[in-house]
Amino acid sequence: MPATITSIAHYFPPDVYPNSYFEQYLDTSDEWIIERTGIRERRFAKNGATSDLIVPAAKLCIERRGIELKDIDCIIVATVTPDYLFPATACVVQNKLGIPNAWGFDLSAACSGFLFALVTAVKLVESGGVRNVLLCGADKMSAIVDFDDRAQAVLFGDGAGVALIEMSEDPELGVLDHILHIDGEGGKFLYQAAGGSAKPASIETVKNREHYIHQEGQAVFKAAVKGMADVSVEIMKRNNLTNDDVDWLVPHQANLRIISATADRMGLSMDKVMVNIDKYANTTAATIPSCLSQWWEQGKLKKGDKLVLASFGAGFTWGAVYMKWSL
Ligand code: COA
């Protein structure tokens, strides 16, 4: 019997920043941003931390399932913007929600965070080690984005998606296959240089802007197009899925051009692809669960639908999950 997603919810902060916000102080334009990325606006949290994005989504997710807080066994938070380097944001979330009997941890896989954490949660549940996992994918990217660098400021947003993972009641439905990869050779193209043990925070690191994201956009773009498309096609082949069989591609939302290239390679038309990058930009670990939640809320995601979830991110990390939706 596979494990599956038994509840889903998301949260975006209320303050909307359209592309015109950046036009006011950077050498950029609404046209450039839309054409090169597909992004029109994003949300930034004016206050609070990543855990404050998770809490409202988690409350809704738990309420939708009708489960009691005392019955939650494990909390996993996938994020690259933890509240603190330690303690884990999972502990902060546990405390803010008042979940009495859980253990948990944070997982760092950047834009692949939700997929890596989903597979981890599924294996924990399937092993019988826990009955359920509150799986949180969330990032407050505004905490680490360099707002003076036009090549990254426009790309990111803040958000959270939370799923509950439990055993499926139907052997046909749930998470059925996964392919995950890491390749540290790609680390040099996308990273946060300072603040860890390799380069502790100092006056110099602050002056050199080393606590912000460092990204070589074109190198990441090329690797993402290949990585996400290859792994999505591979998981289709391995599960004998034709393009007709796949109901939805649920891709990480980094750039609309990366998403379209993946859909093309899979032979899917864009009406089978979940896209919310236009309104929320790249929310890192929150992109995939927020898409699932929005599409489910809107009634577009149906029980039994065949989904390919696909991601690519810093590390490099990338992968695909094949699941049949069970809500
Ligand atoms: N507005 C206007 N011009 C911009 C700009 C902006 N916001 N950002 C970059 N440019 C400029 C560059 O400075 C460059 O100018 P130059 O030719 O004078 O040097 C020009 O646009 C082309 O830059 P380039 O990097 O080649 O553009 P691109 O088409 O590759 O698009 C990204 C840039 C960042 C949108 C794209 O590379 C990308 O999406 N990469 C992947 C990012 C990603 O997914 N990251 C998250 C991890 S998955």
Give residue-wise pLDDT tens across range 105-143. Answer: 999 999 999 999 999 999 999 999 999 999 999 999 999
136 counts as catalytic: no
pLDDT at 244: 98
pTM over 0.85: yes
Residues 6+ apart with CB under 8 A from 13: 43, 44, 45, 46, 53, 158, 159
Angle CA 66–9–84, to nearest 5:
105
Going by CA atoms, what residue is nearest to atom 34 of ligand 1?
Answer: 217
Q: Are 290 and 139 in contact (CB under 8 A)?
A: no
Q: Which of 61, 178, 252, 255 is catalytic?
A: 252
Query: Alpha-carbon distance 64 to 94, whole Å?
Result: 18
10 counts as catalytic: no
pLDDT at 14: 98
pLDDT at 139: 98
Mutate to test the pocket of ligand 1, among 22, 26, 36, 259 (most ligand atoms within 8 A of CB): 36
pLDDT band with cut points at 50, 70 and 90 for residue 214 = very high
Q: Where are the alpha helices (DSSP H) in 14-112?
A: 19-23, 30-37, 50-65, 89-97
147 C-beta closer than 6 A to ligand 1: no
Q: Which of 111, 255, 276, 291 is catalytic?
A: 111
pLDDT band with cut points at 50, 70 and 90 for residue 25 = very high
111 counts as catalytic: yes
pLDDT at 270: 98
Dist. CA 299 → ligand 1 center (Å) = 35
